Structure 1
Amino acid sequence: MATTTPGPDYAEQKAEASAQRDGLPRPVSSDTQSTALDTVRLWFSPTTVFTKAHVMGDVDPVQSTLPLSAYCFMTGFIDSISFSAVFVWCAFQTGNSVQLALALARLFEGPAGHRDTSFHIADKQALTSVLTFIAGAFIGRIGDRMGPKSRAWLFLGTMIQALFTMAAALAAWKSGQGSVADNRGDPAWTNALTFVALGFMSASMGLQGIMGKRVNTQFATTIVLTTVWCELMADPKLFRLNHRVISRDHKVIGILALFVGGFVGRALIDAIGSPGTLGIGCGMRVLIAAWWLVVPGKAGEKKKQVDV
């Protein structure tokens, strides 16, 4: 009897389990060639790409590896900008939430009359990031009406992320402030426009997170990888290095993409500053948005569209 990998009910795990029930898994080259051919056909068939049936159709989560990997890359890329300037993560809201809890606890520290009741700028920045992240994630609920896996929503939602990133770039540029802080007590961003930049960056990550979650793959939200790390270490097939294991391989791809994104983001900050780096990030998101339009759908859904 075939066994399935324990854990969340990801679409990729269903596909992997189904392949095992049918017999031996297909060779990696077979899956890769099929996906590549489907994508090439879409690129060279504009009449197909721009039809309503195609745009409103759902992508196949199993074949969404590349754009979701790009999402993970953008997480590291955007977070490198905010952390370098103010030591706040736009995507990782666990740390920001704990920081706000510590700020509240500070009000009760020491004897009455000698307590620190000021709201530190680092706490203000953490609060800005949390609130705007939630607002961005709430915008993602639009996808529930359009279809969370539809190409139309994945394109539109990613374009909204790009607009948020562009707004952050403009705000950071007009602020006239630096890009890299020397220590936590002396952030590079302190004026109102940099708070606006931080807010738009966090909103873009909140929207990306809920979009990634709705696709329901091994990449999870594409922004918080603590769970991905835990699931990777718990994967019973972790050391089956001579086999293709989707539940393991896609998690590794997501982690590496985030790492590379952080590295590239910091390298660009040192070369052209945070406004220019955010501008490049905006362009990347536009490319990812277009990418969603050519992600193939499931074979059964494609046949259904042809019959209609």
Structure 2
Amino acid sequence: MDIRASSDDGTQWVSSDKTHHGAGKHSFRPILPPPPTMPRAAHSTPSPHAPDNNAHENLPDTTTADDPEKHPLPNHTSFWSRRSLLGPITKDHGDLPLLACCLVSGMVDAASFKNWGMFVGMQTGNTVILGLSTAGLPANPYAWLTTLVSVVCFLIGAFTTFRISKVITPEGPTRNRLWATSLFLIQALLILLSAALATPSNLIPQEPGNTSRLTLPDPRVIRNPRIVSLIPPLAFQSGIQIATSRLLGFNELPVNVITSTYCDIMGDFKLLATNNVRRDRRVGAVVLLLAGSIISGWMLRSRGGLMSVLWASGAIKLVTAGLYFFLAPAVKEELPKVME
């Protein structure tokens, strides 16, 4: 048993019970205070085996670095960046530029039929006229040439569009904003090229403007082989146009012909439904193509004649391409989820 005692100077003593020859005696020894701890020098080098208690102070704070709420990932991309220009766009409202193409088809085909007795977009009519030309009907010596050139250029335009689009955007034009817009821009430029060729007087044979309902067609126009000059660019862009409608996924908008559209309207079992987007597109295509032909007819009677129709048609497609380029919404990419 230990016994503690203190002296007058405050020193603490402790003794252990020891037995000498059967007698209990106590031997006291002083309790010494612990030696003072020397402060660690700031420039001292710690032992390589000693743990560093302050190591956590030198590590970067990663508690909130990956927290999307405190450090959100940037989701704003400049419109003129490569990612935006070559990035995907949604198909929302992609039918609007195609409806504008229906209006242009009515204008251009009405003008070509009025001046040259053939079409640049409606290849069904050209095929019939080509067949009639084998019997010398109608009274157009170059009907076989104009219709054949139109059909061939139309096919080349559609074929080229499908193949190039497959290489650039295998998943469809909407995967690349610039390419989707270029399809409409190329059409506009080809029509504007035709308008430029039709503007100089006596360069391309055409019916004169500023006529009345009683004015008869000039027979010298269709007897001039130079009428074929404007057909290749106009028919080529028509092929691009219908291929574009297929590539964008709007099969109910053939944009060039409306025979199948009439059939699809009558075959729609939801024809009278309140909400029927496909029906609305088909009816809109018919109305706009008819409106385009009406507009073209009155413009052909004006002083501008054929060139006014072509300049207006090219301008409509040029504006369509610009609006589609700037207003088509980009696909919103989902941010990656943070693993917990």
Structure 1 unaligned regions, length at least 5: 1-45, 108-115
Q: Which moved more, 1:95-104 or 1:279-288?
A: 95-104
Deviation at 1:193, TM superposition (A): 4.0
SS of equivalent to 2:271: coil
Deviation at 1:281, TM superposition (A): 1.6
Q: Is the 8 A contact 1:179 1:189 kept in 2?
A: no
CA distance in 2, matches of 1:224, 1:288: 20
Q: Given the alignment of the two structures, is residue 223 of structure 1 paired with residue 238 of structure 2, yes or no?
A: no
Which structure carries more relative contact order (alpha carbon 8 Å, separation 6+)?
A: 1
CA distance in 2, matches of 1:179, 1:53: 49
1:4 is aligned to none
Change (3 A) 1:270 1:227: same
Amino acid at match of 1:76: G
CA distance in 2, matches of 1:237, 1:269: 39
2:299 is aligned to 268
Amino acid at match of 1:83: F
1:287 is aligned to 319
* Corresponding residue to 1:145 among 167, 171, 178: 167
Change (3 A) 1:171 1:216: same
CA distances 1:147-166 after superposition (whole Å, capped 9, x unpaired) = 22332122112121122112
SS of equivalent to 1:209: helix
Amino acid at match of 2:285: G
CA distance in 2, matches of 1:189, 1:51: 51
CA distance in 2, matches of 1:173, 1:166: 10
2:195 is aligned to 169
Aligned residues: percent identity? 22
Change (3 A) 1:76 1:47: farther
Deviation at 1:143, TM superposition (A): 1.9
CA distance in 1, matches of 2:154, 2:262: 22
Pairs within 5 Å for 1:252-263: 252-263=283-294
TM-score normalized by the length of structure 1: 0.71
1:202 is aligned to 235
- Point out the structure with the larger strand share: 2
Deviation at 1:68, TM superposition (A): 1.5
SS of equivalent to 2:326: coil
SS of equivalent to 2:280: helix
Amino acid at match of 1:127: L
1:25 is aligned to none
Q: Is the 8 A contact 1:165 1:279 kept in 2?
A: yes
Pairs within 5 Å for 1:102-117: 102-104=132-134, 106=135
Q: Given the alignment of the two structures, is residue 237 of structure 1 paired with residue 237 of structure 2, yes or no?
A: no
Deviation at 1:230, TM superposition (A): 0.8
Q: Given the alignment of the two structures, is residue 85 of structure 1 paired with residue 115 of structure 2, yes or no?
A: yes
CA distances 1:7-42 after superposition (whole Å, capped 9, x unpaired) = xxxxxxxxxxxxxxxxxxxxxxxxxxxxxxxxxxxx
Q: Is the 8 A contact 1:151 1:293 kept in 2?
A: yes
Q: How many residues are matched? A: 247
SS of equivalent to 1:303: coil
Q: Given the alignment of the two structures, is residue 96 of structure 1 paired with residue 108 of structure 2, yes or no?
A: no
2:94 is aligned to 64
How large is the Cα RMSD of the aligned pairs?
Answer: 2.9
Change (3 A) 1:189 1:277: farther
- Point out the structure with the larger helix share: 1
Structure 2 unaligned regions, length at least 5: 1-75, 209-214
